[in-house]
Amino acid sequence: MSKEKIKKMRDIPFERLLASGTAMCAGCGALEALHQIYDILGKNTVFVNAAGCMTLLSVYPFTPFRGSWLYTSMASAPAAAQGIRDALDILIEKKRIKPKDNMQVVVLAGDGSSYGMGLSAASAAIERNLDFIYICYDNEGYGNTGQQYSDATPHAARTSTSKSLTGFQYYKKDIFAIWAAHKPAYAATIIGSDPLDLAKKVEKAKNMKGAKLILALSPCPTGWTFHSNETVKIGKLAVETGIWPLKEYADGKIVHTKIPRERKPVEEYLKIQGRFKHLFEPQRNDKLIAEIQNEVDKYWGHYNH
């Protein structure tokens, strides 16, 4: 490829490069959040991308990111982030790069990696107080390989590996609580459909030292089975029903940044997603719907501010 063509590619705006990614799904909630996150973090970043949906953003030798990008296996992104952070610190100490050219180290991983295979590496990185931002786009399943269930799959959801009349029998792992138990510098939940809340939290994480988690619920049209133009609607309902609490952890405290005073019934969120269709058709399953509602009610009863 000629130098002229490479230069032209580098001049294409981030948004156009993302939009041109033919492998990415229309209406992707992860991309919705990532657009906004990248606007705040800027080009002075190095993304360590664990294998997953967002790996498809990169078409060798290009990525849509203006800084740097490294691809890793699903389990090892935090370990790679440690190596990059150490290398940058050494280069600054030896004055081979200027402090103004320092880069923010950012892990970009899905829930398959974050809740499962990569959790051990993340735990070790937090314990070492690694200075990095960990972005998890949580589409509640292994979206890149056919939406098999993951440790983030919600109770009763149907996936390609949980097809019974009751869907997934277990419950979603609370990865936010696991991170908070490690006492990181910061942890926050976000969603692309609430850009102001997202921006405040990412800006806060950007300006802090230490391990930081940005956990983004990422509605997935193909995996959750809904029309791609309903991503924002589903994101808003996740917050309004209380299924996805917007909160942050800092200085040993968990604070909710948006509290739905009059929560909508969870079925308003469930009934517009194909993965929960079996709860309503051909016969309504009041027992399972009540179980899901009860879990949400218990959560907010505990955090009744």
pLDDT at 1 over 60: no
Q: What is the pLDDT of residue 199?
A: 98
pLDDT at 10 over 80: no
Give this prediction's pTM: 0.92
Q: What is the pLDDT of residue 87?
A: 97
pLDDT digits (tens, 9 = 90+) for 175-190: 999 999 999 999 999 9
Question: 170 forms bridges with which residues in the sheet?
Answer: none
> Where does the pLDDT of residue 13 fall: very low under 50, low under 70, confident under 90, or very high at 90 and above?
low
Residue 69, H or E segment: strand 68-72
> Where does the pLDDT of residue 304 fall: very low under 50, low under 70, confident under 90, or very high at 90 and above?
low
Contact 99, 146 (CB under 8 A): no
> Where does the pLDDT of residue 242 fall: very low under 50, low under 70, confident under 90, or very high at 90 and above?
very high
- Phi/psi region, residue 45 (left: phi>0; alpha: psi -120 to 50; beta: rest), is beta
Q: 3-state DSSP call for residue 21?
A: coil
Question: 70 forms bridges with which residues in the sheet?
Answer: 48
pLDDT at 136 over 80: yes
Which residue would you say has higher pLDDT here, 28 or 304? 28
Residue type, 242: G
C-alpha distances out from residue 137 to 142, 214, 217, 237, 278, Å = 11, 9, 6, 18, 26
**Secondary structure (DSSP) of 92-112:** HHTTSS-GGG--EEEEEEEHI
Q: 3-state DSSP call for residue 215?
A: strand
Range 161-169 average pLDDT: 94
Domains of the chain from N-terminus onward: 15-302 (3.40.50.970)
pLDDT digits (tens, 9 = 90+) for 79-112: 999 999 999 999 999 999 999 999 999 999 999 9
Helix 29-41 and helix 231-240, axial crossing angle in degrees, nearest 10 = 80
**Secondary structure (DSSP) of 159-180:** BTTB-STT---S----HHHHHH
pLDDT digits (tens, 9 = 90+) for 209-231: 999 999 999 999 999 999 999 99
